[in-house]
Each structure stands twice: as structure tokens, then as C-alpha cells.
Structure 1
Amino acid sequence: MTAPHGRTLLHLAAALDRRAAHDAASFVESAQLAERGALDFVTLGDTFARPGLDALAVLSRVAPVTGRIGLVPTVTTTHTEPFHVQAAVATLDWVSRGRAGWQIEVSRTETEARLFGHRGPELPSPPGQVTSLPTVEALWQEAGEVADAAARLWDSREDGAELCDGATGRVIDRNKLHQVDFEGATFSVKGPSTVPRPPQGHPVRVVDATEGPARRTAARYADVALVRTAGPAQARAVRAELRDAAAAFGRDPDDLRVLAGLGVDLGDGERAAEPGHGGGGPRQTARGPLYRGGPVGLAELIAAWHRADAVDGFHLTPVEPRRDLERIVNATVALLQHRGLFRTFYPGSTLREHLGLARPANRYAVAGGA
């Protein structure tokens, strides 16, 4: 879909992260609110570095009480089994009827490593054994391999492989099962997957590409890249870098959506953006760029970046989840819809359709047909 000025419509997403929330109700309420605003998707962060609910399990609870909005949990590729990760994400795609995504992340701290019995360089190693934490570059290389293996496993059961034929007693068409025989630097996977091919073919893969080591993985494997930059010129440069890298990997760069990550503090309502938070860009903080002001100013900022063709949309993180998300949906999104920059309804039912991404062909079915 295109906006009146000829550019494509914005993509908008929001984070559901809440500190010390241990009940599903608050996440359900926020996801339903975001869905009323027709946002593309919501994310839920997760890490082994802090206690809290499992993001993928929470969004599996949200899935049956929402109908259109995409659901994107963070799942780390470090200290986890790639086969289990892809099966869990595929399951979320099934229970949400094609609305699942997966924000790929790495675990880089000593605290997280020790949870799994791994030793860092400052801890004594067993006699004759030298161990150390991998570099961030190595962690993101592994993350890319997990993303690659996951896509192969999603393809390892062709569409229609499940027969459930009562007359013959056949439950699976073995000609539509494929071994992936994937060999990575730190793991190997034989396949096939135990979960039928997801409704989207491949659930949407999301990578925060703000840091350099993550950009190669994002350019090669992500459907959506998040970048946290404080100005449209910098965002446009990162977007161009990611698109060029995607093309170098043999991808169509138009298959990569780049969203600007932005913290949002809408405070007491209708006030102008505080100095340094609006205009050309939000203020840079230790946690990334932050907009502090009113919902109208936020709409102006988003529209300005869109006019500058800096990014494909925004991923917004409310500072105060309930208050700020309500004002984003009821005011900022409404203004963007009024200006014809954002849709007023979901034209499709899957997250890939919201993002304007085609359902990937099955690599094994195509090879077999050839």
C-alpha cells in the first residue's frame, strides 16, 4: 500500500516490555490496544540476565485473544538448542495463525554463561582445559547460523506433508520430509523438524542491527532490522548500508524492512517536544534515542523521517507502558492515519502480509520439482 505522496505506508511496531510484570493480563491488554491501532507487530524482550517471564510463552498466551497483530518474542541463540528454538517459534506461528516473528538476540555476559555451567576467562578452568567467552562477533556469527538452520528446518517438512489419511492409515508423506544436514561452527542439525511447516513458511526474523557485529547477520537473514539512531541522516545511512549488504548476499534489498527504534515518553499529554527531543531527531541517551513531548510532536517527528526516506517505519518503546501506548495509539497513530501515512485496517491476516513480504518458497520442494 502507498501513501498519497507516492511513498509506501509506514510500518509501526511497539514494545510490550514491563518491569516486574508476572501476569498475562497486562500483556494481553497492551497487545489488544496495539491491535486496535493496526500496528504491524508487538515485541517482548527477554534475556537470561534478569529474572522474568519467558517472552515466547507469554506471547503464546496473547495469541488466542488477538486476531491480527504480529507477535515477536526475543529468543536468544546463545546457550539454546537451535532445533528447539525453531520448533518453538514455528509453534507460535501455528497458534497465532501466521502472526509470529522472532527477535534474534545473543547472550554475551559471564552471568548468563554461568547459568549454563560455562566458564569465562576470569574463572578457574578444570585442569588441562582452557575456556573463555566467545567474542560478540562470534556470537552473532553463531546467531546467523541458527537463523539459517531454522529456515532450513521450517522448509524440511513441505506444505501438505501431514496426511492423516484414515483410509490408508498414512499420517505423513515421507517424500515431503527432508534432512537439512546443517553444519555450523558450534552445532549441527540433521532434521527434519517435528513441527509442520509454519503458516508463513518462515516466521518473520527481526534483528537489532544498531551495533556493528549484528549488521552482517541482519543483512543476510533478517526480514526486519531495528536501528537506534538519533537523526534521520544517520538512519538513512545505516539503512543504505544494510540494503547494500543484503544485495551483496544475493538478497533482494526490498525484502528487508528497516525500522528506527525510539523510546517514547509522552508525559502529561499535549505539550511540545522538549528541547533536543523533537525537530531533526530525538535525544540520544544511554538506552538509545528518546523522544519526550506530546503525541502530536511524535507524529510530526515520524512524518518528517518518513518524508526524508530515512527508514521504513518505527519500533516504539513506551517509557510508561500503559500511559504511553494509549497515547501512541489514540493520538499519534490516529494523526498519522488522518494524514494518510499509516493504514486504518489490516489488509491481510499474517505478519508477512502486514509487512508486505511474500511467503518464501520451500527450497526443498523447488529443488525436488526441478
Structure 2
Amino acid sequence: MSLHLAVALDATGWHPASWREPGARAGELFTAGYWTDLVLLAQRGLLDLVTIEDGYGMQAPDDRTDQVRGRLDATLVAARVAPATSGIGIVPTAVVTHSEPFHISKAIATLDYVSAGRAGVRVRVTGRPDEAALFGRRAAPDRDELFAEAGDAVEVLRRLWDSWEDDAEIRDTATGRFVDREKLHYIDFEGRFFSVRGPSITPRPPQGQPIVAALAHVPVAFRLVGTHADVGFVTPQETADIPGILGAIHAAREIAGRDTVHVLGDLLVVLDPTAEAAAARLDRLDTLAGAELTSDARIVAGTPAQLADLIEEWHAAGLSGVRLRPATHAHDLPLIVDALVPELQRRGLHRTAYEAATLRGLLGLSRPANRYADQV
């Protein structure tokens, strides 16, 4: 089983003081060049994909003015970056709690066209009352309802992506027929949270179905991944946690009658040539932030070789790979690309060239048949 390697991009990095790191380029956060450079760097490391964080609330608490505030729309950033890159998958985050799945499906289908088949979407839920208040339509749902709604949203996305058959566009100038109307389908979805007739206004994406990913750290989220996602990001603290996580996800996958679901472990990484230097840098960043770094993901401060040891251990325990959260993009992302990747390659755990042109291809997932194509 090949190892899959991803990087999660958020602002200047995952440490609250990352914007104060030398070379952080905090003044360029809202420029296309900044994000393009990050993805090109990850591409140089032959990573499977990058995810781009997004949300409706501010990153920092309201009373903090010493942390990054404000963000660009992740899907629009991805659409700008995609034409400047090749090989690597680009997976923006979309908050499905307060967004219409019709709009998300159209945006991600467009990204799949712009990237020539390298798109995906990380679906995210939010139960924050302050974010619900931004929309004013309802109170924040409870956890079970949040994830039930997310499942319906993904089902709508997938049906809308299939609502055009692959050969629906005729483009016959002689007859004046641009589209075969018989190959556009109403999805007629009726669920607890959405009623969507369809079809989409965007033709079927190049991958047929762009990749759907989700972060999971509680049982209801494990069910969402197993039932609806292609890729799940999970947060084990120890190797011993992995079998239980995989068991929950694969049980849901089997009940849903689905095939492959890749599960990647998240790690927040602080890398340096020596473990002592990494620990000292983390201490310095914590001092700048005024608090010790905390995370839902395991925090690893050490050398690229030590990180490779842990990745190999987690892979042997059954994970498809890892998604790394660089503490600071300026320092840790180059070390992931230029030190960790060569170490993994020496161990036979990472590719030496992109072997497929699409994200589904990189993940070893076939292009799915259209669910409506055989309907009369």
C-alpha cells in the first residue's frame, strides 16, 4: 500500500505566532503569489495534495490582536493557484453548515476544470453560535444534526456532479445542437435539510467526482467519513489509537457498501536539523504567542528523520498516510519538501515522480461511472 502525503495550509502556519517567524511573508497573505508559491513548493515535494483552510469565523479570539485575523475564500484561492501548478491535488475547505450544496458543487466542478482534474473539497461543519449569527437563519445545530446535514450535503454534491452525463455536450454547429437534453438529469433530492431538483449548470467534472474529504475526531464524524468521503483526516495521539479509528470508519464504509476510503493521520510539525533546535524554536514561538501550543492533532517537534519514523509507524498500523500541518510555512514547509520527502523516498515510502494526471489517479481511485447514465 503506497503512502499518501498531504499538507494543510492555513495563513502563515498552524502556530499562532507563525506570522512573526522570519520569512513569514505576513504582508503578502492576501496575494495570489503567496498561495501559489506555497503550493508550488509542496508540488516540488511530489505531495498528493494540499488542503486550504477556510471558515466563517475569525481565526483568533475577539480579544486577541496579536494573531492572524481575516482570510481569503479557499475555493477562489484554489482556482487562482490551480493553473500555475501541475500534478498536485488542490483541496479547499467548504463550510457546508451554512452554504448551499448547489453553490459548492458548481464551484468545485469549476475548480476541477481549471485544474484539469486535480480538485477536491474538504467539507467542514460549524456549530459556533457567532457563525450562525452571521447568517441569521437559525440557531447553531447540535453535533449530530451538523454531521447529518453534512452527509446530505455531500450526497447532493455527488448527485449534481453526475447530473450531466459525460457526453451531454454535442456542440454540433451543423445542426445547432449544443447539448443533448436527454443526458441532463434532475436529481430530485429530498432530505431532512435540502430539497434540490437540479440539474447542475456545470457539466460533469473531468474526474467525474472530485475528491471529497473530511476531518474526523469523534464517532459521528467517523461515520461521515466512512459513509460519504473519499479521504478522512484523523487525529490519533498514539499509534494505539489507530485501530479503533480505522475500525469505526471502515464499519461505516461497509454498511454504506462503499469501496476505498483513505484515512490520513494529522500531525502538527515543528522541524529542525536537531531535536533540540526544534524544541527551542517551539519554545520561542510559544513565548511570542504567550501560551503553549495546543492542537487537536499530535504535535511533533523533532527532526525530519524522527518524523519519518513516526509516519512509517503509523502507515504500518494501517493509515493510508499523513496530512502535515506546518507550524510555520516559512520554516517547516521547506523542511518537509527538502528533508522529509527525501528521507521517505530513501525508505521507499514516497514517489519519485507523479504517476497520474488527476487527484483520483494519485490516490489510486478509479473514475466513477455516472449514476444516471443508464436511466431511460
Q: Are the structure 2 counterparts of residues 119 and 243 from structure 1 closer, same or farther at C-alpha, using a change threshold of 3 Å?
A: closer
1:29 paired with 2:37, answer: yes
Q: Distance in 1 between matches of 2:242 and 2:215?
A: 13
Shift of 1:236: 2.5
- Per the alignment, residue 8 of structure 2 pairs with 15
1:292 paired with 2:297, answer: no
Shift of 1:310: 3.1
* TM-score, with length taken from structure 2: 0.87
How many residue pairs are counted as aligned between the two chains?
339
Q: Is the 8 A contact 2:266 2:322 kept in 1?
A: yes
Look up the SS of the partner of 1:199 in the other structure.
coil
Within a 5 Å distance, the mapping from 1:46-61 to structure 2 comes to 46-50=54-58, 51-61=70-80
Look up the SS of the partner of 1:226 in the other structure.
strand
Which letter maps to 2:200? S
Q: Is the 8 A contact 1:59 1:73 kept in 2?
A: yes
- Per the alignment, residue 311 of structure 2 pairs with 302
Q: Are the structure 2 counterparts of residues 341 and 286 from structure 1 closer, same or farther at C-alpha, using a change threshold of 3 Å?
A: closer
Q: Distance in 2 between matches of 1:210 and 1:92?
A: 28
In the TM superposition, what whole-angstrom CA distance separates every residue of 1:148-207 from its partner, at most 9, and x where no partner exists?
Answer: 011111111000111111111111011111100001212211011100100111000001
Q: Is the 8 A contact 1:232 1:310 kept in 2?
A: no
- Per the alignment, residue 365 of structure 2 pairs with 357
Q: Is the 8 A contact 1:270 1:296 kept in 2?
A: no
Shift of 1:258: 0.3
Q: 2:164 aligns with which of 152, 157, 162?
A: 157
Q: Distance in 2 between matches of 1:295 and 1:186?
A: 45
Q: Is the 8 A contact 1:219 1:245 kept in 2?
A: yes
Shift of 1:55: 0.3
Shift of 1:48: 0.2
Within a 5 Å distance, the mapping from 1:159-238 to structure 2 comes to 159-238=166-245
Shift of 1:270: 3.1
Q: Distance in 1 between matches of 2:171 and 2:298?
A: 52
Which letter maps to 1:257? H
Q: Is the 8 A contact 1:236 1:311 kept in 2?
A: no
Q: Is the 8 A contact 1:110 1:119 kept in 2?
A: no
Q: Is the 8 A contact 2:48 2:362 kept in 1?
A: yes
- Per the alignment, residue 61 of structure 2 pairs with none
1:269 paired with 2:273, answer: yes
Q: Is the 8 A contact 2:110 2:202 kept in 1?
A: yes
Q: Is the 8 A contact 2:187 2:197 kept in 1?
A: yes
Runs of 4+ in 1 over 4 A off after TM superposition: none
Shift of 1:367: 3.8
Q: Is the 8 A contact 2:149 2:193 kept in 1?
A: yes
Query: Structure 2 stretches of 5 or more lacking a match?
Result: 13-25, 59-69, 283-292
Q: Distance in 2 between matches of 1:306 and 1:250?
A: 24
Q: Distance in 2 between matches of 1:238 and 1:366?
A: 37
Q: Distance in 2 between matches of 1:96 and 1:244?
A: 33
Look up the SS of the partner of 2:169 in the other structure.
coil
> Percent of aligned positions with the same letter in both sequences?
46
Shift of 1:82: 1.1
Q: Distance in 1 between matches of 2:147 and 2:113?
A: 27
Q: Is the 8 A contact 2:219 2:248 kept in 1?
A: no
- Per the alignment, residue 242 of structure 1 pairs with 249
* TM-score, with length taken from structure 1: 0.88
Q: Is the 8 A contact 1:178 1:364 kept in 2?
A: yes
Q: Is the 8 A contact 1:37 1:333 kept in 2?
A: yes
In the TM superposition, what whole-angstrom CA distance separates every residue of 1:92-121 from its partner, at most 9, and x where no partner exists?
Answer: 00100000010000121111111112354x
Q: Distance in 2 between matches of 1:60 and 1:144?
A: 25
Which letter maps to 1:143? A
Within a 5 Å distance, the mapping from 1:131-150 to structure 2 comes to 133-150=140-157
1:257 paired with 2:287, answer: no
Q: Distance in 1 between matches of 2:238 and 2:113?
A: 38
In the TM superposition, what whole-angstrom CA distance separates every residue of 1:106-150 from its partner, at most 9, and x where no partner exists?
Answer: 121111111112354xxxxxxxxxxxx311110110110010011
Which letter maps to 2:262? R
- Per the alignment, residue 281 of structure 1 pairs with none
Q: Distance in 2 between matches of 1:262 and 1:250?
A: 30
Q: Distance in 1 between matches of 2:357 and 2:138?
A: 45
Q: Distance in 1 between matches of 2:305 and 2:252?
A: 35
- Per the alignment, residue 126 of structure 2 pairs with 107
1:323 paired with 2:331, answer: yes
Which letter maps to 1:17? D
Q: Is the 8 A contact 1:161 1:173 kept in 2?
A: yes
Q: Distance in 2 between matches of 1:70 and 1:108?
A: 28
In the TM superposition, what whole-angstrom CA distance separates every residue of 1:184-238 from its partner, at most 9, and x where no partner exists?
Answer: 2122110111001001110000011112221221111100011011111212320
Which letter maps to 2:132? A
CA RMSD for the aligned pairs? 1.9
